[in-house]
Structure 1
């Protein structure tokens, strides 16, 4: 562990509320998160929001090229001064706005991190947009969000993220992390998950329409699909099919794929 970084003589970075920072201080949990990566189909890893590098130092022990992306300039300065092996691979950028092809080109890479609660769902949506390059994704979320991503149909917490992620990835909820291991401690438990891209992750339907149908369905999740999908102006005879009598949380991702295939001939393209 010691070979990849030097001890700091500077003080700790101050956690900033507006960035949703809660710095992990438990070394064992950091090591466990680093071990969630299976290190297959890629040779590069991107850590989002490394802070003071408690997870980073364990990633640096892995046989992969580690990059980190951090929006907080104070954290970037700390990393540059203390993690010398990361020189040239510390990207002071906003992950949600940064074009990652500037770093990775078209190469495959994994993503991991202790994700800020306030942007964790947006991180997942961006990951889905780049799924061609991301065979594996792991990290720490608010427990409720991590559970939701891994939830199966029939649950009240099953939703848009559940369907979209599980259409392309195998989702595993791995373990729960208490607030006490963070500085400052959050008000809720955290949860660590792993997403492993499916061997065949291309859908047998129009993927853009699939996303649109899933999002439109769950925007009115208490209604049946017959009502929630009214905006698609589907013909009455199609809307009489039994599947339109279901609520969105009753359908697994495969059923949403079948639903999309049914709707495709009638949908107005938004490409």
Structure 2
């Protein structure tokens, strides 16, 4: 097999530019923090070849059997570290808490789902370097007060420092996507756990942004906001203006009032 046919239903856009692939690989900075990296959706191995040059142990997870056959033929040293399956369904942390960095050219159609899985395992994933749709990359790295700032921005920034690295144009892919791509790096911060009820924190963040044009006073009615908080000044604000720390403080305020009733 000399080539792999990109499959639309898998959201495959194969990167052709080797210099960009090398820049993505060089975005990994976690020397000493982890020894293993996992590439999601390696396709024909354009990025993989540069990851294999690193001092890390490289694993790949691929759902496309045609790509798997290609990788086994062209990257024989990788053959016993190819996981056939869906990253979203595979439990990579079932038997070990070993730190694992995640890297890849993520399919646009499942990138948000990938990040929610990263959140579920933020204690085991110290770093993520990935290429995604530029609009999504900018949203994740966006600070409070920006219209692109949203649910995943807050949830990921609670546990990671996020840096937008560079933009990639469509012409370096086969087939070319209709939009620009962006490469970002998520680096685990020093917060072991949020200083609040983390489950309630997620509920507050999600409820706040689901009605983002309304003030938090109206948006948070879905979580049975305590009546005594109705005049609190924070609730006159919109979710997009609050930092992670402000969401933590609001979560604690809500929790405290709920416990006292």
TM over 0.5: yes
How far apart are the structure 2 equivalents of 1:154 and 1:198?
Answer: 22
Check if 1:158 corresponds to 2:145: no
Displacement after TM superposition at 1:101 (Å): 1.9
CA distances 1:53-92 after superposition (whole Å, capped 9, x unpaired): 0000000000000000000010011111111111211001
Secondary structure, in 3 states, of the residue corresponding to 1:223? coil
Gaps of at least 5 residues in structure 2 are none
Contact 1:117–1:141 (8 Å) recurs in 2: yes
> In 2, Cα distance between the equivalents of 1:235 and 1:211?
17
- The alignment status of 1:93 with 2:85, answered yes or no, reads yes
Q: Which residue of 1 aligns with 2:68?
A: 76
In structure 1, runs of 5+ residues without a counterpart are 1-9
- Distance in 2, Cα, partners of 1:247 & 1:154: 9
What are the residue-to-residue correspondences of 1:179-218 with 2, within 5 Å? 179-218=170-209
The answer as to whether partners of 1:109 and 1:134 remain within 8 angstroms in 2 is yes
> How big is the shift at 1:202?
1.4
2:169 aligns with 178
1:43 and 2:35 are equivalent in the alignment: yes
- Does the CA contact (< 8 Å) of 2:226 and 2:254 recur in 1? no
Query: d(CA) in 2 for partners of 1:267 and 1:106?
Result: 35
TM-score, structure 2 normalization: 0.96
State whether residues 153 and 251 of structure 1, in contact with CA within 8 Å, keep that contact through their aligned partners in structure 2.
Answer: yes
1:59 pairs with one of 20, 35, 51: 51
Matched with 2:112 is 121
Task: Say if 1:51 and 1:267 are closer, same or farther in 2 by CA, change over 3 A.
Answer: farther
- Check whether the contact 1:24–1:181 (CA below 8 A) recurs between aligned residues: yes
Deviation at 1:267, TM superposition (A): 4.6
For the 8 Å contact 2:44–2:71, the answer to whether it is kept is yes
Q: Distance in 2 between matches of 1:129 and 1:225?
A: 26
Instruction: Provide the C-alpha distance between the structure 1 equivalents of 2:244 and 2:170, rounded to a whole number of angstroms.
Output: 33
- Which residue of 116, 126, 142 maps to 2:133? 142
- 8 Å CA contact 1:232, 1:267 repeated in 2: no
1:231 paired to 2:219 = no
The alignment covers a number of residue pairs equal to 258
- Alpha-carbon contact 1:143-1:176 (below 8 Å) kept: yes
Q: Which TM-score applies when normalising by structure 1?
A: 0.93
